[in-house]
Amino acid sequence: MPIQVGQRMPSVTLRVMTDAGVKEVATGDLFKGKKVALFGVPGAFTPTCSAKHLPSYIDNSAKLKEKGVDAIACVSVNDAFVMGAWGKAQNAGDKVMMLADGNGELAKQLGIELDASKNGLGMRNKRFSMLVEDGVVKQLNLEAAGEYKISDAETLLKQI
């Protein structure tokens, strides 16, 4: 069963590409004492993720911060090198933290795994967005497989 509003985020280690190389990011540290807009995509460099999903958060980063969001983060079951390259290609800069869940650990613990094996992509996470405050899920928008209707930044902005 997928994580629900009111539940605490699981404790896992994600990775992010920095100028100094790959850095580990513990979810406990990421969410502690902060309001975080977290969204997940099935794959970096994929059509909907690149044309719509990530750009919606980059374009609305200032509006999210005006509503009290401390950090905006994108997560995918890709490695830190791919997430870093995708962030650069999309000009995410310091607007969106590009988090790698390389082994799908977060996806598993959130209960949002997506089996994309038929497309040669293996296990991924479903497309989603959530607002996490001090480690607790306050809003959750989980898409049905293949859809992009409710996990965009505009929807999350309306919910804050």
pLDDT tens digit sequence for 4-43? 999 999 999 999 999 999 999 999 999 999 999 999 998 8
Q: Are 137 and 150 in contact (CB under 8 A)?
A: no
Using CB atoms within 10 A of its CB, is residue 81 exposed (0-12), middle (13-18) or buried (19+)?
middle
Q: Are 32 and 135 in contact (CB under 8 A)?
A: yes
| Residue 54, helix vs strand vs coil | helix
β-strand pairing of 71-76 with 35-40: parallel
| Entry field: residues in the chain | 160
Q: What amino acid positions are annotated as catalytic residues?
A: 49
Q: Which domains does the chain have, with CATH numbers?
A: 13-159 (3.40.30.10)
* Cα–Cα dist 117/133, whole Å: 33
Q: pLDDT tens, 42-53?
A: 888 887 778 889
